[in-house]
Structure 1
Amino acid sequence: MQRIAPLLGVPVAETLRKWVRQAQVDAGARDGTTSTESEELRRLRRENADLKRANGILRAASAFFAAELDRPHG
Protein backbone atom coordinates (compact mmCIF):
# COMPACT_ATOMS: atom_id res chain seq x y z
CA MET A 1 0.00 0.00 0.00
CA GLN A 2 2.85 2.35 0.89
CA ARG A 3 4.43 1.89 -2.56
CA ILE A 4 1.22 1.82 -4.61
CA ALA A 5 -0.55 4.85 -3.08
CA PRO A 6 1.89 7.45 -4.50
CA LEU A 7 1.70 5.81 -7.94
CA LEU A 8 -2.07 6.33 -7.87
CA GLY A 9 -1.75 9.89 -6.63
CA VAL A 10 -3.16 8.99 -3.21
CA PRO A 11 -1.23 10.98 -0.60
CA VAL A 12 -1.96 8.65 2.34
CA ALA A 13 -1.67 4.87 2.12
CA GLU A 14 -4.45 4.48 4.73
CA THR A 15 -6.89 5.99 2.22
CA LEU A 16 -6.02 3.29 -0.29
CA ARG A 17 -6.35 0.65 2.43
CA LYS A 18 -9.85 1.93 3.25
CA TRP A 19 -10.83 1.82 -0.42
CA VAL A 20 -9.66 -1.79 -0.67
CA ARG A 21 -11.58 -2.74 2.50
CA GLN A 22 -14.73 -1.04 1.17
CA ALA A 23 -14.38 -2.83 -2.17
CA GLN A 24 -14.13 -6.12 -0.28
CA VAL A 25 -17.28 -5.30 1.71
CA ASP A 26 -19.12 -4.29 -1.47
CA ALA A 27 -18.05 -7.57 -3.10
CA GLY A 28 -19.30 -9.58 -0.12
CA ALA A 29 -15.82 -10.82 0.78
CA ARG A 30 -15.78 -8.93 4.08
CA ASP A 31 -18.40 -8.05 6.71
CA GLY A 32 -19.52 -4.45 6.97
CA THR A 33 -21.83 -1.81 5.54
CA THR A 34 -21.80 -1.69 1.76
CA SER A 35 -21.55 1.56 -0.18
CA THR A 36 -25.17 1.13 -1.29
CA GLU A 37 -26.32 0.66 2.31
CA SER A 38 -24.33 3.72 3.41
CA GLU A 39 -25.92 5.85 0.69
CA GLU A 40 -29.39 4.62 1.68
CA LEU A 41 -28.70 5.40 5.36
CA ARG A 42 -27.59 8.93 4.45
CA ARG A 43 -30.72 9.42 2.33
CA LEU A 44 -33.00 8.13 5.08
CA ARG A 45 -31.32 10.29 7.73
CA ARG A 46 -31.77 13.35 5.51
CA GLU A 47 -35.40 12.44 4.88
CA ASN A 48 -35.95 11.87 8.61
CA ALA A 49 -34.50 15.32 9.42
CA ASP A 50 -36.77 16.92 6.77
CA LEU A 51 -39.81 15.17 8.21
CA LYS A 52 -38.92 16.28 11.74
CA ARG A 53 -38.65 19.89 10.53
CA ALA A 54 -42.00 19.61 8.73
CA ASN A 55 -43.57 18.12 11.85
CA GLY A 56 -42.29 21.02 13.93
CA ILE A 57 -43.75 23.52 11.47
CA LEU A 58 -47.10 21.70 11.41
CA ARG A 59 -47.17 21.53 15.22
CA ALA A 60 -46.52 25.28 15.48
CA ALA A 61 -49.16 26.05 12.84
CA SER A 62 -51.66 23.80 14.59
CA ALA A 63 -51.06 25.56 17.91
CA PHE A 64 -51.40 28.96 16.24
CA PHE A 65 -54.71 28.09 14.55
CA ALA A 66 -56.06 26.42 17.70
CA ALA A 67 -55.34 29.63 19.64
CA GLU A 68 -57.10 31.66 16.93
CA LEU A 69 -60.18 29.46 17.18
CA ASP A 70 -60.27 29.83 20.99
CA ARG A 71 -59.97 33.61 20.84
CA PRO A 72 -63.29 35.49 20.89
CA HIS A 73 -64.05 37.26 17.63
CA GLY A 74 -66.27 40.17 17.68
Structure 2
Amino acid sequence: MARPSKYSAEFRSDAIALWRASAGRRTFKDVAADLDVNPETLRSWVRNADAPPAAAASQETEAERARLRADNARLLKNEKEWQLEREILRRAAAYFAREMK
Protein backbone atom coordinates (compact mmCIF):
# COMPACT_ATOMS: atom_id res chain seq x y z
CA MET A 1 0.00 0.00 0.00
CA ALA A 2 1.29 3.43 -0.85
CA ARG A 3 2.06 5.61 2.05
CA PRO A 4 0.25 8.92 2.37
CA SER A 5 2.12 11.92 1.04
CA LYS A 6 3.84 14.11 3.57
CA TYR A 7 3.01 17.10 1.35
CA SER A 8 -0.47 18.56 1.40
CA ALA A 9 -2.43 19.15 -1.80
CA GLU A 10 -2.16 22.89 -1.18
CA PHE A 11 1.64 22.68 -0.92
CA ARG A 12 1.80 20.67 -4.15
CA SER A 13 -0.41 23.15 -6.02
CA ASP A 14 1.67 26.07 -4.70
CA ALA A 15 4.87 24.31 -5.79
CA ILE A 16 3.43 23.75 -9.27
CA ALA A 17 2.41 27.41 -9.48
CA LEU A 18 5.90 28.50 -8.38
CA TRP A 19 7.48 26.26 -11.04
CA ARG A 20 5.18 27.62 -13.74
CA ALA A 21 5.86 31.20 -12.69
CA SER A 22 9.60 30.62 -13.00
CA ALA A 23 9.59 28.26 -15.99
CA GLY A 24 12.34 29.08 -18.44
CA ARG A 25 14.39 30.93 -15.86
CA ARG A 26 14.90 28.21 -13.23
CA THR A 27 15.28 24.47 -13.35
CA PHE A 28 13.26 21.88 -11.48
CA LYS A 29 16.32 21.35 -9.31
CA ASP A 30 16.48 25.04 -8.31
CA VAL A 31 12.79 25.33 -7.46
CA ALA A 32 12.82 21.97 -5.64
CA ALA A 33 15.84 23.06 -3.58
CA ASP A 34 13.96 26.20 -2.49
CA LEU A 35 10.99 24.06 -1.45
CA ASP A 36 13.14 21.31 0.09
CA VAL A 37 11.63 18.57 -2.07
CA ASN A 38 13.18 16.10 -4.48
CA PRO A 39 13.40 17.51 -8.03
CA GLU A 40 11.81 14.36 -9.46
CA THR A 41 8.93 14.75 -7.03
CA LEU A 42 8.31 18.29 -8.27
CA ARG A 43 8.65 17.12 -11.88
CA SER A 44 6.04 14.37 -11.32
CA TRP A 45 3.66 16.86 -9.66
CA VAL A 46 3.91 19.16 -12.69
CA ARG A 47 3.57 16.23 -15.12
CA ASN A 48 0.48 14.94 -13.30
CA ALA A 49 -1.04 18.43 -13.21
CA ASP A 50 -0.51 18.75 -16.98
CA ALA A 51 -1.97 15.30 -17.68
CA PRO A 52 -5.45 15.13 -19.18
CA PRO A 53 -8.21 14.45 -16.63
CA ALA A 54 -8.85 10.94 -17.97
CA ALA A 55 -5.23 9.98 -17.34
CA ALA A 56 -5.39 11.42 -13.84
CA ALA A 57 -8.59 9.50 -13.20
CA SER A 58 -7.01 6.27 -14.43
CA GLN A 59 -4.01 6.89 -12.18
CA GLU A 60 -6.35 7.38 -9.23
CA THR A 61 -8.21 4.23 -10.21
CA GLU A 62 -4.97 2.25 -10.37
CA ALA A 63 -3.91 3.63 -7.01
CA GLU A 64 -7.28 2.66 -5.53
CA ARG A 65 -6.99 -0.83 -7.03
CA ALA A 66 -3.52 -1.24 -5.55
CA ARG A 67 -4.80 -0.11 -2.16
CA LEU A 68 -7.71 -2.54 -2.34
CA ARG A 69 -5.43 -5.41 -3.37
CA ALA A 70 -3.21 -4.69 -0.38
CA ASP A 71 -6.24 -4.54 1.92
CA ASN A 72 -7.50 -7.86 0.54
CA ALA A 73 -4.12 -9.49 1.10
CA ARG A 74 -4.01 -8.17 4.66
CA LEU A 75 -7.56 -9.35 5.36
CA LEU A 76 -6.88 -12.80 3.90
CA LYS A 77 -3.81 -13.12 6.08
CA ASN A 78 -5.85 -12.07 9.12
CA GLU A 79 -8.64 -14.50 8.17
CA LYS A 80 -6.18 -17.41 8.19
CA GLU A 81 -4.90 -16.31 11.60
CA TRP A 82 -8.47 -16.03 12.91
CA GLN A 83 -9.34 -19.49 11.58
CA LEU A 84 -6.33 -20.92 13.41
CA GLU A 85 -7.33 -19.12 16.61
CA ARG A 86 -10.90 -20.44 16.32
CA GLU A 87 -9.62 -23.97 15.76
CA ILE A 88 -7.40 -23.75 18.85
CA LEU A 89 -10.28 -22.42 20.94
CA ARG A 90 -12.63 -25.12 19.61
CA ARG A 91 -10.14 -27.84 20.54
CA ALA A 92 -9.54 -26.30 23.97
CA ALA A 93 -13.30 -26.11 24.64
CA ALA A 94 -13.68 -29.77 23.60
CA TYR A 95 -10.77 -30.79 25.86
CA PHE A 96 -12.17 -28.97 28.87
CA ALA A 97 -15.67 -30.32 28.18
CA ARG A 98 -14.22 -33.84 28.37
CA GLU A 99 -12.42 -32.96 31.61
CA MET A 100 -15.68 -31.73 33.20
CA LYS A 101 -17.47 -35.07 32.58
In structure 2, do the counterparts of structure 1 residues 42 and 67 end up closer, same or farther at CA, with 3 Å as the change threshold? same
Match of 1:27 in 2: 55
Match of 2:14 in 1: none
Match of 2:69 in 1: 44
* TM-score normalised by length of structure 1: 0.54
Deviation track 1:16-59 (CA, whole Å, cap 9, x = no partner) reads 2222168649628xxxx823212221132023213321331222
Kindly indicate which of the two structures has a greater share of residues assigned to helix. 2
CA–CA distance in structure 2, aligned partners of residues 22 and 52 of structure 1 = 37
Identity percentage over the alignment? 20
Mark the runs of 5 or more structure 2 residues left unpaired by the alignment: 1-18
Comparing 47-56 and 18-27, the one that deviates more: 18-27
Indicate yes or no: 2:90 matched with 1:65.
yes
**Which of these residues, 36, 40, 46, is aligned with residue 14 of structure 1?**
40
* TM-score normalised by length of structure 2: 0.44
CA–CA distance in structure 2, aligned partners of residues 17 and 62 of structure 1 = 53
Q: CA RMSD in A?
A: 3.6
CA–CA distance in structure 2, aligned partners of residues 51 and 14 of structure 1 = 36
Number of residue pairs matched by the alignment: 69
CA–CA distance in structure 2, aligned partners of residues 15 and 55 of structure 1 = 39
Secondary structure at 2:63 match in 1:
helix
Which runs of 4 or more aligned residues in structure 1 lie more than 3 Å from their structure 2 counterparts after TM superposition?
A: 9-12, 21-26
Letter in 2 for 1:69: A
